[in-house]
A and B are shown apart, each in its own frame.
Chain A
Amino acid sequence: MQPLVVTRGLRFRYEDGTLALNGVDFTLQPGETVALFGPNGSGKTTFILHLNGLLMGDGHVEVCGLPVTPHNFATIRNKVGIVFQESDSQLFMPSVLEDVAFGLLNRGMPADKAAECARAALDRVGIASLAPRPPYHLSAGEKKRAAIAGILALDPDLLILDEPTTFLDPPGQRALAQLLGSLPQAKILVTHDIPFAEAMCTRAIFFSAGAIVAEGPVAELVERFDWKFTPRR
């Protein structure tokens, strides 16, 4: 089976000189759900931004069989959906419905069909009643759900969620896990939420200083890197 994502020797340096990625080799198979672990600043978010060309580093990045180059951006961005860590950055339209429909309209979908799909996506994340509300009137959890709806509406082949459970209360986290579990797409979850990752992912990757230093089953990596919070007495 052709891998969904392949990166080889991916390196990226920010303008201030910080080396954020230092030779990342990564492969994701269709339908797979992978957790990205690692300390803050280890390059996880920088890495996922390369998967639809929002950042361009040195090395080889291929998504759905296409090299990530400016020529393929339009196709690849239709196939890769990213839910950003800060929902406020993702919700920029005047109303929740318009925001969820934003990507659909950009793809050229007729307005009435886009509104229908956007409403269905909002319904899936349980906030259909918030459709006409301006995003800044929402709570942090509601914003997160709206941001997820904006990506679900696009029905991408690959879902990337950066800290998806932040600001969600436990019932919200359960609902999100249930929703993501029901989606057939491949998923990359950047998270520090170990129980969530254990429930969702078959494999985990551990980032450190801009490189993948280990990969394997979630429980194994958690144990190996002592990555679970347990109060020491």
Chain B
Amino acid sequence: MHHAVVERWSRGESPLHRRDARAKIASLLVILIVLATAHRQFLLLSAALFVCLAIAAMVAHLPVGAMLVRAASILPFSGVFAIVCWLAGDNERALSLLLKSYLSALAVLLVVGTTPLPSLLRGLELLRLPRFPLMVAQFLYRYLAVISGEAREMRRAAAARAPLLTAATRRLRFRAAAGALAVLFARSYRRAGDIHRAMLARSFSGSFHPLETPRFRTADSVFLLFVSCGAVALRISIERFV
């Protein structure tokens, strides 16, 4: 499963994995701003950022090839807008859209691939992001595997009772899939109620209490400073001196 692979990456061991989530989130934000606002010498800046991100992935012992492929999953979405720009005759903007979205996805994947999601959400919480959407994200992440597992079992059960795919069974399967979707929704709804009950049974009163609060160390400050200044300096030097 896609998220299980990234989850495995995030529990690795490297200098990047050891950095505090807040340092990585803030660095990512700087990189995204540098990228989003760039326009002059954009191809060169993209190439330089690509090399930097690839080196960072190698330092983090992440499979660079697999990362590059996964980052491309953003392209169908940004591609739509790129096609619109291309049809309007703005080829440069179309290319810039594709490159910016791809590099942004790569940078996000690098952060997500080196930070376990609970730490990432805790980092966002400590950065004062609203608690409610973070809680929703946490539950979504936890139960994604459960719900997709249920969907997989239902698909297997359906396939076991309709092994041959003919024109007639194809239509039946479509109807069965639509019904299964409704069942899955109802089950998810019921599960949400069960989870809430289980939380109340253990004295939940509306807020989560963390077991440990991560410490922001000197190394994290150095990392944040290095990445942020590095990204800004890279862009200024390319735009000014190339």
Chain A contact residues, CB within 8 Å of chain B:
49, 52, 54, 74, 77-78, 80-82, 84, 86, 88-90, 92-95, 97-98, 101-103, 105-107, 111, 114-115, 134-136, 150-151, 154
Known: A89-B191, A89-B198. A136 touches B209 (CB 8 A): no
User: Nearest-CB distance from A141 to chain B (Å)?
Assistant: 16
**Interface of B, helix, strand, loop or mixed by DSSP:** helix
Complex interface residues of chain B between 7 and 39 (CB less than 8 A to chain A):
7
Report how far A26 CA is from B25 CA in the complex, Å. Answer: 55
State whether B203 touches A88 (Cβ < 8 A): no
Report how far A132 CA is from B152 CA in the complex, Å. Answer: 27
Known: A54-B201, A78-B203, A95-B118. A88 touches B211 (CB 8 A): no
B194-222 CB contact bits vs A (8 Å, 1 = yes)? 11011111111100011110000000000
State whether A101 touches B211 (Cβ < 8 A): yes
State whether B202 touches A150 (Cβ < 8 A): yes
The total of Cβ contacts below 8 Å across the A-B interface reads 79
> Can you offer 8 A-B residue contacts whose CB atoms are under 8 A?
A84-B201, A92-B198, A94-B142, A105-B211, A106-B209, A107-B203, A111-B209, A111-B210
Chain B contact residues, CB within 8 Å of chain A:
7, 116-118, 121, 138-139, 142-143, 145-146, 191, 194-195, 197-205, 209-212
Task: Give which listed residue, B7, B200, B212, contacts A54 with CB less than 8 A.
Answer: B200
Chain A residues, CB < 8 A from B117 = 94
Report how far A136 CA is from B147 CA in the complex, Å. Answer: 11
Chain A residues, CB < 8 A from B205 = 106
Chain B residues, CB < 8 A from A78 = 203
Report how far A36 CA is from B157 CA in the complex, Å. Answer: 32
User: Nearest-CB distance from B97 to chain A (Å)?
Assistant: 35
Chain A residues, CB < 8 A from B7 = 134
Output the nearest chain B residue to A52 by Cβ-Cβ distance.
B201
User: Nearest-CB distance from B151 to chain A (Å)?
Assistant: 14
